[in-house]
Amino acid sequence: MATREEVERLVRQVVGEVLAATGGAAAVAAEPGRRAPLVAANWKMNLLAADVRAWPAKLEPPAGVELVVCPPLVWLPLLREALGPAARAALGAQNVHPAPRGAFTGEHSCAMLRDAGASWVIVGHSERRALFGETDAFVAEKLRAALAGGLRVILCVGERLAERDGGATFRVLRGQLTAALADLGFPAPDPATLVVAYEPVWAIGTGRHATAEQAQEAAAFLRERLAERFDWRWALAARILYGGSVTPASAAELAAQPDIDGFLVGGASLDPAAFSSIAAATARAKERR
């Protein structure tokens, strides 16, 4: 008897063939310039002031790739100053609280993040879920508040190793994505303001990464779910990133996949030269497509 994962893979194949015949999802491959690549840096809890001041000097942004840097919140104003008026990269935050103000010690509102220079925020990162107990419902609340508060969002979803080994990858991705988007009202948000990052938890900080085939399969699945939630036009305009021990060596093959529009980079982003190499590899891969 076929497993649920095998059935869903077959369904995706059939859907893809139908869309190819009708000009649906195949339009992504036919129009390689449709979605601008995005490469985002998540510094997590790393670097000190001297590192932050020095980081932009070695950043080499390639043409045609949007860059976002998400430092620890305390460094947002300093990094904004270090990057200078040329704005070679946008700034983002690693977390946000959904309330506009109040007695939430240690938290920061959307307005505070914008005031500190952030235009993006990461929501639902696996470390926030696993280490700080963030539920799907709280992730959804943050997402809704961030979009309403004028921030662009990188929404993270991904499965643990036991879930992948148990054939539950697509069930987990469907559940996390459905829960996060459930409370978004009409009309749908601008797809430029909502990016989905597939981050297999088993590949974060482990030195392992999903194969190009695994990453593409997950990204295509997520795009189909976005089409179900909104519509195909919206889903084809939305960007899907891969995050999980991305390096300059692995970036080219991953970026060549049709449904992977860039990366959420962790450890490698601490080195501006490595981060620039990943962005450059992304630009080259999308130019060749």
Known active-site residue 125: yes
pTM higher than 0.75, yes or no? Answer: yes
CATH number of the domain residue 158 falls in = 3.20.20.70
Give a yes or no: residue 71 inside a domain. Answer: yes
Angle, alpha carbons 288-152-56 (nearest 5°):
65
- Read out DSSP for 23-92? TSTHHHHH-TTSS--EEEEE--S---HHHHHHGGGG--PPTT-EEEEE--GGGHHHHHHHH-TT-SSEEE
Catalytic residue of the set 108, 125, 141, 209: 125
* From 199, 209, 217, 224, the catalytic residue: 199
Residue 200 lies in a domain: yes
Residue 37 lies in a domain: no
Nearest alpha-carbon partner for 119 in 85, 165, 76: 76
Does a structural domain hold residue 107?
yes
- Tell me which residue has tokens 């932050």: 52
Q: Would residue 181 count as lying in a domain?
A: yes
Residue 3 is assigned to a structural domain of this protein: no
pLDDT at 155: 98
Q: Are 144 and 98 contacting, i.e. CB atoms less than 8 angstroms apart? A: yes
- Mean pLDDT per 10-residue run, the chain (289 residues)? 50 44 38 78 98 97 97 98 91 98 98 98 97 98 98 97 95 98 91 97 82 97 98 97 93 97 97 98 89
User: What are φ and ψ of residue 122, in 5° steps?
Assistant: -90, 135
The answer to whether the CB of 289 falls within 8 A of the CB of 29 is yes
Going by C-alpha positions, the residue among 54, 57, 58, 61 that lies closest to residue 39 is: 61
Residue 89 lies in a domain: yes
Tell me if the bond preceding 56 is cis, omega within 30° of 0: no
* Number of domains making up the chain: 1
Residue 43 identity: W
Q: Is residue 242 part of a domain?
A: yes
Give the pLDDT of residue 2.
52
Please state at what angle helix 248-255 crosses helix 212-229, rounded to 10 degrees: 50
Task: Look at residue 21 in the predicted model and tell me its pLDDT.
Answer: 39
pLDDT of residue 15: 46
Picking from 162, 158, 200, 201, the residue whose alpha carbon sits closest to that of residue 180 is 158
Structural domain span for residue 242: 54-212+227-288
